[in-house]
Structures are given as C-alpha cells and as structure tokens.
Amino acid sequence: MTPQSEDFSAWYNELVVRAQLVDRGPVRGTMVIRPYGYRIWELLQADLDRRIKEAGHDNACFPVFIPESYLRREAEHVEGFSPELAVVTHAGGKELEEPLVVRPTSETVIGEYMAKWIDSHRDLPLLLNQWANVVRWELRPRMFLRTTEFLWQEGHTAHIDEADAMRETMWALDTYAAVARELAAMPVVAGEKTAGERFAGAVRTYTIEGMMRDGRALQAGTSHYLGTNFAKAFEIQYQDEEGRLQYAHTTSWGMSTRMIGGVIMTHGDDSGLVLPPRLAPYQVVIVPIGRKEQGEATTAEARRLGAAIKAMGIRVHVDDNRPQLSPGFKFNDWEMRGVPVRLEIGPRDLADGVATLARRLPTVEGQGKETVPLERVPEVLPQILADFQAFLLARAEKFRDDHTRAVDSWDDFGAQVSGGWALAFHCGRTECEDDIKADTAATPRCIPAEGPAEEGVCVKCGRPSPYGKRIIFGKAY
C-alpha cells in the first residue's frame, strides 16, 4: 500500500478496500459494507445500544421519506441541510403533489410525532432512539467518513425544561466519549462547538473530536440541545401541573459508521489495519502450518485450541480453509486486516506442545514472537488482549498530545495546523472563522470542556476572546 507518510489519503482509500471492509456502491458516494467491516459496526452498535437502553431510552423506527414541508417549518434547519438533500419528485409513474426528502436526519419527522404523543408533563421525558440509514449528498465522498448514505443511531428526546434537556445532552456526549475511549481506544476531546459550527437549528452543539495519525481532526459524535426551536415549529406542547401549555425542550444526538473510519485512521500503519480488541471481528486468528499428515495434525490441534479459546468468550477464527495459500501470505493478510493476536501451530510447535504467538504491534519495546504452552494459551489471552487495548489508547493519546500545541501568533498558528492541533484564543465571530478557514483550511473543532482558564485575544483578528480558555483548531475530515 501507499505509505502514510507519502499520501495518507491514498493509504486510507486503498486499505478500506484491501482489508475487505467496504466496496464502492453503484451510485457515486455510496458504499457496500462488507461482512468484516459490518461486524465492527455491529460490535460498536451492540455496546452503544446497551448503554442507550440502560439509560431508559426506547428504540423506534421512523420513515425514510419526509414531506418537504416538514423541513421548511424550522427555517435554520432546512437552510443548513438544503445543499445535501436528496428529493423525490416522482413515484408510482407520476409527479408527486409534494416532494419527499430522503431522510438526512429525523428531527422534523420525529417532532411531528412527539407533538401527537405528548399531552401532559407526565408524558415527559420522552426518550427515543433510532438505528437507521440516512442520505446526505456529499460532494467529496470518502468511505466511512463522508458518504452519500451511511448508518447511524439518532437519539431524540423531549423534556420539561432546559435543565433536564441539558442533562440529557451531556449524558449523550459523555456516553459517546466513553464508547470512543473504551471500545475504539480513541482518546477524544469533548467540548462545545462555536456558533458558526453548530448543528442547524440547535441552541448548543457538543462534540467529541479525535486526532487521526495525519494530525487531522475527526468529529466522532455530536449532541445537540435544541431548546424550544423544534417544539415551536411542530407544536410539541404539554400541560404543566397548573394546566398551562408549555413548549417542550428537545435534544438530538448521533454517532455513525464514521467511527469505523476513525478507528482505521487512529491506529492503522503502513502494514494495514490495527484493530482494538474490543472492536476486532476476530480477536485471535490461528494459522495451522504443514502439509498432508502433518497438516492434518496441526489443523486438528488448531480447531481444538480454537474451541477452548471461544469458550473463554474470545472471538477466534481458525484459518484452515485456504490450503492454496502459503503460511507467509496468511500472516501478512491477517496483519493487514488488523487482527490483534495471531497464533501459529506448525509441526515443530505441535511436537513441543506450544503455539507461536504474535501481536499485531508489540506492547513492550523489543517484544516479538513468543511461544506459549498450548494448555496455557486460553488463560493468557484475556490479559494480552486487555493490555493491547490499553496500549493502543495510550499510544493514540501520546500522539495527540505530541501534536497539540498552544500558539499565540498567526505564523505559529499556520505552521501548527499543518500537521496537528493548535490551542488558540478566538473572538467567536463567524466571519473570523471563515477567514481562518480560507487562509489555513483549519476550523474551530471545539471549546474543550476541560482545560485551564485563560484570557487572551483572537489569534487572527486581535479582538478579545469571550470563552475564557483556548479553543482547539485543526484541519478536519
């Protein structure tokens, strides 16, 4: 593959296809998620869905077609999404009376039904979640990161007041940060978006931002406090305890298959994928080595060992159905596909009662292949996988910190965002953000929730910063 240092974008585009994660769809900007890639999504989905349900949310399913008039009820929302909309004007052999928008997000259609389902303060909070596909017409598509159609979950909730809605907004943000760190080993920074970067129609938008191995930022999940904007547009009202009609306060939040792209770019190297064990379709692959009678013996042992490992709750695969391929090809193939641990069993290993264990990356300097007694393999693997997961998180955190720097001059700003993140003061004006982006291609990623209180002047225009802390700027996907 093209080395990362030569062309990171080419490396990524080649890898997602060669690792059998995706294939290009028949329509520009669409993707076919292959089983290996979809399994990563299923693992993330299962964990996130569990967290969502444990917090009291219910899954529902809303239509993919939305009347165009629904979007027009919230002016800022339709203006923000109009360049990305796919619109159906003909169906059933004739022109439709009203065009239908293919779902780009579901605030409008879910708002319509919240208004039907909510009457009293006793109906609140209403906590809904949907796992769905959405369509946004991307001008510059890239597999997983920006595709015309992608998969996600979108939470939509209604509350009595701002305080309760804000608790929900921050719960979603904290949940996304935990999923990113604990499953994807991505050390994200959580914070609030500036006014110029807010979700269309939101009062406040929060994000988790991860740094990829080329120094760029990836927005990996967002949570929005919508205030009463959508409630007023869709008449989402309830009777309070005194019988007065009040508008509900609503939220929305989402995480998508973009996270798979984040995993690839946070951990991958010139040899291919590096998958965190908690999201790896196969955490361990066993490769039996040998021909004829020797091959039959090592294959039988590999299958026995695989069953013992599976009984430990570890996802394991025995590569015993590709006899036409050499062991060396298989080793490289599984390395490229990011499997955390590979076990090799050859005739000599079998005679010695051991398996040769190879990690995708050494967690300790100088650590290469090692031999492990066959009977001990199942018991040592859980700790090896846990150590590898922790190693990837620590490595990514160090990379991010090494490529993040506070800057106060415009010259230093431009140099820093060319390959990392700049911590800089900002005036908060959208026009200034536009000027910064035009000059450097960098945007304000977030006002970090954590960080020292500081006062200063905008790195671009010199006006006072209203935030009381530095903002993260970087080039982004």
Residues of the chain with CATH 3.30.110.30: 404-474
Least confident of 5-9, 245-249, 450-454: 450-454
CA 50 centroid distance within chain: 17
Residue 107 has what pLDDT?
95
262-278 mean pLDDT = 98
The burial of 452, by beta-carbon neighbours within 10 Å (0-12 exposed, 13-18 middle, 19 or more buried), is given as exposed
For domain 404-474, the CATH architecture is 2-Layer Sandwich (3.30)
Residues of the chain with CATH 3.40.50.800: 284-384
Residue 74 has what pLDDT?
81
The terminus-to-terminus CA distance of the chain in angstroms comes to: 21
Q: Which tokens hold the place of 95?
A: 């022109």
Q: Give residue-wise pLDDT tens across range 421-432.
A: 999 999 999 999
For domain 284-384, the CATH architecture is 3-Layer(aba) Sandwich (3.40)
Q: Give residue-wise pLDDT tens across range 137-153.
A: 998 999 999 999 999 99
Q: What is the pTM of this model?
A: 0.95
CATH no. for 8-267: 3.30.930.10
Q: Give residue-wise pLDDT tens across range 299-344.
A: 999 999 999 999 999 999 999 999 899 999 999 999 999 999 999 9
